[in-house]
């Protein structure tokens, strides 16, 4: 008898409900529900509509039970760093999105309390202006931590809404910038230095932890019941688990962000790693040594602005036909949340982009160059030379970008256009006894 599991994989632009089962020694999957996601502007800030997000999660579970009534368990993964604050069982609104610029003013204040070089030695977490550590300092200065009882990362919040158990999962916690890289626990020296309430940071739970069954009201709404299980709730943590690679090679999880890294037995927190701005994040029994690269966000925003009705195969063809050789720094802060991605590209290139194909060729080539630079930094930090580079996620479907990446890095690119994140999510559930 087949046993069915539900992976809910939520990205910054869309969410997917994927049912999986083991058959003939392999994991089989079927997408049963998909919904759009995205930030909204609210009083001059970028926020998440978590009510709508949760409603979509429930709708997808309902559809999953319609098609597969005997689901054993479900789990949720999503992007890192973002969270929901609670006062008891009440959300503190608004729920800010990581692309919001509110942290810009507080970053220097955080580094006055604890310089980044010291933070890095403790956590091995790369600098990103949206890391949870900076978001929370803005919350503190604005009095939004007063009376707060809980801080739940996004997947933890959604699973609490489903089953009533508040958990803090290890892999997602490592995106906060406050986890001791060597112990894998919250670094209370950092917490105390910044004046954050200790009670917000209880013991962490590991992937594979069973939280419980669906709440009665959720069971009634979805017409089914199952266990709620912690996967590696940071989507990249699940993606790495889902990559069917032979041996240990670098990977790119290519979505809104491109996460380029490799598994290492121990964290790397020396000055060279700090200078390269690599991050040490939690894996399932290993360290993920990786770097955030702006990724398909550049391409998706250009499409939204320049040619929303043009399908990506046509966009790629236009990029291939272009002869433009302009490049931008794909990780430059001006590309994080621009009012106009076209304008940001124009400014960065000196207004040399003339056609739609020019913009996309510039974006794809710039991503490939950023991958090359990241690979060189990776090899310098690990002391290893790698021959292969695995690419998974939506970006793996882009043959043009894969060719550019292979040319730029000199590595054999193995593109696996699979839902690696969902596969990793399902794999963890299937290992629960």
The domains spanning 4-233 and 244-419 adopt the same CATH topology: yes
Please list, in sequence order, all residues whose beta carbon lies within 8 angstroms of the beta carbon of residue 47, skipping any fewer than 6 positions away: 39, 40, 41, 94, 95, 96, 97, 100
CA atoms of 264 and 126, how far apart (whole Å): 16
Which of the residues in the chain have pLDDT under 50? none
CA atoms of 165 and 163, how far apart (whole Å): 6
63-79 tens-digit pLDDT: 999 999 999 999 999 99
- 3-state SS assignment for residue 272: helix
Q: DSSP per residue over 219-262, as a string?
A: HHHHT---EEE----BHHHHHHHH---SS---EEEESSSEEEEE
* Extents of the domains making up the chain: 4-233, 244-419
| DSSP H or E stretch at residue 75 | strand 71-78
The pLDDT value recorded for residue 288 is: 96
The pLDDT value recorded for residue 246 is: 84
The pLDDT value recorded for residue 433 is: 79
CA atoms of 240 and 196, how far apart (whole Å): 32
pTM of the model: 0.93
The pLDDT value recorded for residue 7 is: 98
The pLDDT value recorded for residue 91 is: 98
Q: Are 411 and 387 in contact (CB under 8 A)?
A: yes
The pLDDT value recorded for residue 1 is: 87
Distances (CA, A) of 292 to 96, 166, 273, 382, 401: 20, 28, 14, 17, 17
Domain 4-233 matching CATH 2.40.400.10: the answer reads: no
Q: Which of 253, 241, 226, 120 is nearest to 171 (CA)?
A: 241
CA atoms of 72 and 319, how far apart (whole Å): 45
> In this structure, what are the phi and psi dihedrals at residue 296, rounded to the nearest 5 degrees?
-65, -10
Please list, in sequence order, all residues whose beta carbon lies within 8 angstroms of the beta carbon of residue 358, skipping any fewer than 6 positions away: 322, 324, 326, 352
CATH fold of 244-419, please?
Nucleotidyltransferase; domain 5 (3.30.420)
| DSSP H or E stretch at residue 411 | none
The pLDDT value recorded for residue 181 is: 96
The pLDDT value recorded for residue 268 is: 97
82-106 tens-digit pLDDT: 999 999 999 999 999 999 999 999 9
Owner of token pair 């003013």:
105
Burial of 159 (0-12, 13-18, 19+ CB in 10 A): buried
Owner of token pair 């310098």:
380
Active-site annotation, residues: 235
Rg over alpha carbons for the chain, rounded to the nearest Å, is 21
């Amino acid at each position: 008898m087949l046993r069915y599991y539900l992976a809910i994989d939520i990205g910054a632009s869309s969410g997917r409900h994927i049912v999986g089962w083991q058959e003939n020694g392999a994991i089989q999957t079927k997408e049963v529900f998909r919904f759009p996601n995205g930030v909204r502007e609210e009083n001059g800030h970028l926020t998440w509509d978590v009510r709508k997000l949760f409603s979509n999660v429930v709708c997808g579970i309902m559809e999953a039970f319609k098609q597969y009534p005997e689901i054993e368990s479900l789990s949720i993964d999503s992007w890192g760093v973002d969270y929901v604050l609670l006062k008891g069982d009440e959300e503190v609104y608004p729920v800010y999105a990581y692309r919001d610029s509110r942290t810009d003013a507080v970053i220097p204040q955080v580094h006055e309390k604890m310089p980044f070089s010291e933070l890095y030695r403790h956590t091995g977490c790369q600098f990103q202006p949206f890391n949870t550590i900076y978001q929370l300092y803005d919350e503190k200065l604005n009095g939004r931590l007063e009376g707060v009882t809980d801080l739940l990362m996004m997947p933890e919040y959604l699973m609490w809404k489903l089953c009533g158990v508040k958990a803090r999962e290890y892999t997602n916690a490592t995106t906060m910038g406050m986890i001791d890289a060597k112990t894998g626990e919250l670094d209370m020296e950092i917490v105390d230095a910044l004046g954050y309430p200790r009670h917000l940071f209880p013991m962490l739970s590991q992937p594979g932890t069973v939280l419980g069954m669906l709440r009665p009201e959720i069971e009634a709404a979805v017409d089914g019941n199952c266990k709620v299980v912690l996967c590696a709730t940071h989507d990249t943590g699940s993606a790495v688990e889902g990559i069917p690679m032979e041996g240990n090679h670098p990977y790119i999880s290519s979505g809104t962000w491109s996460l380029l890294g490799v598994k290492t037995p121990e964290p790397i927190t020396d000055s060279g790693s700090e200078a390269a701005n690599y991050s040490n994040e939690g894996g399932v029994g290993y360290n993920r040594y990786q770097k955030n690269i702006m990724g398909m966000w550049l391409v998706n925003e250009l499409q939204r602005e320049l040619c929303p009705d043009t399908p990506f195969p046509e966009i790629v063809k236009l990029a291939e036909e272009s002869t433009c050789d302009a490049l931008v720094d794909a990780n430059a802060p001006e590309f994080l949340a621009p009012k106009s991605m076209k304008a940001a590209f124009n400014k960065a290139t000196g207004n040399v982009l003339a056609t739609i194909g020019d913009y996309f060729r510039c974006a794809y080539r710039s991503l490939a160059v950023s991958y090359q630079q990241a690979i060189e930094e990776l090899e310098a930090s690990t002391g290893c030379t790698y021959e292969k580079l695995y690419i998974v996620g939506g970006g793996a479907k882009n043959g043009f970008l894969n060719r550019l990446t292979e040319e730029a890095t000199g590595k054999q690119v193995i593109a696996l256009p699979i839902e690696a994140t969902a596969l990793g999510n399902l794999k963890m559930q299937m290992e629960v006894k």
